[in-house]
A and B are shown apart, each in its own frame.
Chain A
Amino acid sequence: MIKFLKPYPIVVVGHVDHGKSTLIGRLLHDAGKLGDGKADEIHAASKRRNREDEFAFALDSLRLERDQGITVDTSRVWFKTDKRPYVIIDAPGHFEFVRNMVTGAHAAEGAVLVVDIGEGISEQTRRHAYLLTILGIRQVVVAVNKMDMVNYDETTFNAMADGIKEFLSSIGITPISVIPISAKAGLGVAYHGDETRWFAGPSILEGLDLFPEPESIKDAPFRMSVQDVYKEGDNRIAVGRIDAGSLRVGDAVVLQPSGRVLTLAKFQPWSDDDTPQISAAAGQSVALNFEQAAFVQRGDLLVAQESRAQTASSVQAKVFWLHADPLNLGDVVSLRIGAAKHEVVVTAIDSVVDLQSLESHDGNSIPCNGVATVTLVSRSTLVFDTDHNSPMARAVLSRDLTVAGGALIVGRAQSAGEDTSHNLTPVPSAVARRERAAWFGHKGGVFWFTGLSGSGKSTIASLLERRLFDLGVHTIVLDGDSVRNGLNQDLGFSEEDRTENLRRVAHVAHLMSENGSVVITSFIAPAESDRSAARSIIGENFHEVYVKASVETCEQRDPKGLYHKARLGEISDFTGVSADYDPPKSPEIILDTEGLSVEAAVDHALSHILEAVDHVSAKQQEAALQVAARA
């Protein structure tokens, strides 16, 4: 006898009236699972409605379902073969109940697709089959039902079977078998009869036993969406159910989107008698105690260090929509990935699938039970996977407080800039660069300060700003505080987000310098790649300023106490302590703050800047303006 095995979940799908519930009732009967009471109850309920024994009543338990002879909502029953236990999920075939079909089917590993030999493949058959592929169900047997209606004719069956196979292969499904049956007569379900002696394949029960065991997500990279945080004394304990992979005490994991690295100190025990847990795997609910005191909140994602999830503010997703009102371009809905919840805007509906023809076309909305590829843009950072076996690739959309659709994340959407750039023709400015220069008395320019925390960037930048302004120079300082609170408030401190932060700063600085300003940016900007990207965005107006001081000196100064915190492990990825700094290879200006006083460094920078922007005195400026006016 098989014990303790997880029942293999099977969903039975197909068009209404093609005989799904009858097939299940017959399966249960033939597998010896219909209880004594149940068979009698079915007999009585059938007789009351003047019908022959309706095996469908085994599942269609609601009065509405029995009176109308349809399945309204999904249901579950359990049975066993010699090979393994099964749980069958019955799913309604009616168009109005697709949401219930999805509710049932999502839990399945394999499916039985029922097709009526008289009616063939209908739109609903296509819709169900297509949804199976989106839900990730690839194991399928096809039951060609009601063979008694065509006198078990081999030729009729073969023609139908070929059509079904062709359709399924067009959506990426290769069925284990296409099987002729009569659920009502009980043929082909547990065993074949003389009527179909010409058929060499398995019965439905034998076909189910051929489905391979599901792939384990225990071997996948670790993922856990933080569900809640419990406080025990001073401890903050992150709880959740491991979504993929496994975790051991001592493992280092990354908290996304912040990028912080955390080390698992222990699994929090639930009672004093609880044996200390050393490891846990996908499917287990755990309570995690980290060595570092970290700020963790619901919706954060814990991931394996060597295999992080992706981050972006917009994604492309394949969506199936279950809400009665269509999903329209511009709609705002909630996107839930694990325990994270984001408000997103539908900014593009790229292709809507016609479930009759399975062809895609353009559209502005997805109707109820429709499928389309869409672009979703969020104000907060989305953390996700694109491998469809990962639970972090399978998101849910909700509207009006209820679950309204599923979204399979395909990848990052092209950012708005990239996406529309081919539609934009830059309009040349009506004011020439030299006109502005003449007006301001200097050209625009970007002075890109880089250096360790504590090297003196902010101090020097701020003094410079004052000195430049007093000289009549149009100037501004861009630093973390000025961009992180507004423009870049959606960004965290992950590697990707830091790069994105600097990319945006470079663009803003470029625009300002084009407008004639002298811009000083003050960021650590540790990566050579980010700085050279800024150089290519800004072009000839870019000047790199290396504010140079050793880690030891900076740590001694430690004006914000950050080095101290970094040494304590309270801040991760801290440049100079736990993250690298690439010194500039050929900066335009070097300010060595170990050798120079602050004043000397400011003087040095000032003269260099004035020269670089062709700063002219007030008198010279007046003359230049007259020249420009005449020209």
Chain B
Amino acid sequence: MDHLTQLEGESIYILREARNRFDRLGMLWSLGKDSNVMIWLARKAFLGRVPFPVIHLDTGLEFDETYAFRAKYKDVWDLDLIADDCPPIEATDPTLPSGARVAARKSLGLNQAIDRYAFEGLIAGIRRDEQSTRAKERVFSPRSSTNGWDVRSQPPEFWNQFNTDFAPGTHVRIHPLLNWTEVDIWRYIERESIPVVDLYFAKNGRRFRSLGEKGITETVPSEADSIQAIIAELETTKTSERAGRTMDHESEDAFERLRVGGYL
């Protein structure tokens, strides 16, 4: 079978498991390519419409194009959108490097959403190939009451059986795209004609390969101005997807520290 169909089948299975197991479920929508794919898969899984809230952790620092995209597709896809402001930078851990502190606002925004809406399950579009600590994640990943990630004692997960039973008060991150790679995402976007923000396509020799906030996300040199060109570029590139993400490179374990603290 076609690899994309296989991945699609697996992700839809995961989404339906999440829906069956958790009453209070939400999906994180970063407005990036991966989370658009995830919303697309959820619409397929639930026969047309995403049946739970979609959460954008809004730092107020997204690009204008990104906000315009959100406004448009909230309506087109009939999404039940939650877009509360994240707490200010002053509220973040001051010992983190500066780029990581901007990202840490989203961790706080996430905790705020969990408290405010009492989510038991949160679906997030992280992938194993993006970043090496994400590679060690589980599809159903339990979090402590403070939303932390205990990397030392993750439960086993195999044979399509996920840990879906938890004590009351625990919350679970669900990762339906864990086994996808960057190029899988683009091939699927191509196959299904899924809309993405224009900033991914090269203008004047540069494009965003990974889309984050203003100030902590940089463009990379590229001539890829179409989906096909991006796929061709990814077949040969040796730079990492998150090369344009400031916080990944500030210190060796900045990303792990962010994740242990609840970052995606």
**Could you tell me which A residues sit within 8 Å of B by CB distance?**
1, 4-7, 32, 34-38, 41, 44-45, 48, 58-59, 61-64, 66, 72-78, 99-100, 102-103, 106-107, 135, 218, 227-228, 230, 232, 237, 239-242, 268-271, 281-285, 287, 298, 322, 336, 391, 394-396, 398, 401-404, 406
Contacts and interface: CB of A to CB of B under 8 A. Distances in A.
B133 to A, nearest CB: 5
Nearest to A38: B240
A403 B157 CA distance: 7
Contacts of A41: 252
18 contacts: A61-B133, A63-B256, A66-B252, A78-B129, A106-B158, A106-B159, A240-B16, A268-B47, A270-B48, A271-B43, A285-B13, A285-B45, A395-B159, A401-B166, A403-B158, A404-B156, A406-B158, A406-B159
Contacts of A78: 129, 181
A336 B12 contact: no
A58 B132 CA distance: 8
Given A6-B3, A285-B8, A74 B136 contact: yes
Contact of A75 (B43, B47, B132, B156): B132
A270 B43 contact: yes
Contact of B187 (A4, A73, A230): A4
Nearest to B13: A241
Contacts of B90: none
A85 B10 CA distance: 19
Nearest to B127: A76
- Among A37, A76, A99, A406, the most chain B Cβ lie within 10 Å of the Cβ of A76
B132 A37 contact: no
Nearest to A336: B161
Contact of A63 (B6, B128, B252): B252
Given A64-B151, A285-B10, 17 more contacts: A4-B2, A6-B6, A35-B240, A41-B252, A61-B135, A61-B256, A62-B256, A73-B136, A74-B136, A77-B129, A228-B20, A230-B47, A239-B16, A240-B16, A268-B47, A395-B159, A396-B159
Nearest to B158: A106
Contacts of A322: 156
A77 B9 contact: no
A163 B226 CA distance: 56
A518 B94 CA distance: 86
Contacts of B5: 283-284
B235 interface: yes
A73 B48 contact: no
Contact of A4 (B3, B48, B159, B165): B3
A4 B4 contact: yes
B167 interface: yes
Contacts of B256: 61-63
Contacts of A404: 156
Contacts of A242: 9
Contacts of B9: 241-242, 283-285
B152 A241 contact: no
B35 to A, nearest CB: 19
A281 B5 CA distance: 10
A64 B36 CA distance: 34
B19 interface: yes
A218 B156 contact: no
Given A37-B240, A61-B132, A396-B158, A218 B20 contact: no
A283 B6 contact: yes
A228 B5 CA distance: 21
A240 B9 CA distance: 9
Interface residues of B, number: 53
Given A37-B240, A218-B1, A391 B160 contact: yes
Contacts of B138: 103
A64 B240 contact: no
Contacts of A4: 2-4, 187
Contacts of A237: 47
Given A37-B243, A391-B159, A76 B44 contact: no
A287 B47 contact: yes
Contacts of A268: 47
Nearest to A73: B136
A515 B12 CA distance: 59
Given A78-B129, A403-B157, A72 B152 contact: yes
B128 A76 contact: yes
Nearest to A280: B9
Contacts of B152: 64, 72
A323 to B, nearest CB: 9
Interface in B9-51: 9-10, 12-13, 16-17, 19-20, 43-48
A103 B158 contact: yes
Contacts of B151: 62, 64, 72-73
Contacts of B46: 230
Nearest to A407: B159
Contacts of B129: 76-78
Contacts of B165: 398, 401-402
B139 to A, nearest CB: 10
A48 B252 CA distance: 10
A394 B129 CA distance: 28
Contacts of A298: 20
Contacts of A218: 1
- Among A7, A34, A218, the most chain B Cβ lie within 10 Å of the Cβ of A7
B154 interface: yes
B204 interface: no
B161 A227 contact: no
B163 interface: yes
A99 B4 contact: no
A410 to B, nearest CB: 16
- Among A41, A322, A396, A403, the most chain B Cβ lie within 10 Å of the Cβ of A403
Nearest to B51: A230
A236 B5 CA distance: 25
Contacts of B1: 6, 218, 281-284
B221 interface: no
B158 A73 contact: no
B238 interface: yes
Closest 10 pairs between A and B when the two form their complex, measured CB to CB: A61-B132, A106-B158, A285-B12, A99-B156, A396-B161, A401-B165, A73-B136, A241-B13, A6-B3, A75-B135
B183 to A, nearest CB: 9
B209 to A, nearest CB: 13
B47 A62 contact: no
B76 to A, nearest CB: 12
B155 interface: yes
A99 B2 CA distance: 30
Contacts of B135: 59, 61, 75-77
B93 interface: no
A403 B47 contact: no
A307 B58 CA distance: 53
A336 B163 CA distance: 11
Contacts of A401: 163, 165-167
- Among B16, B17, B136, the most chain A Cβ lie within 10 Å of the Cβ of B136
A41 B160 CA distance: 34
A29 to B, nearest CB: 12
B154 A73 contact: yes
Contacts of A135: 158
Contacts of B132: 58-59, 61, 75
B45 A403 contact: no
A395 to B, nearest CB: 8
Nearest to A90: B135
A72 B149 CA distance: 14
A32 B235 CA distance: 12
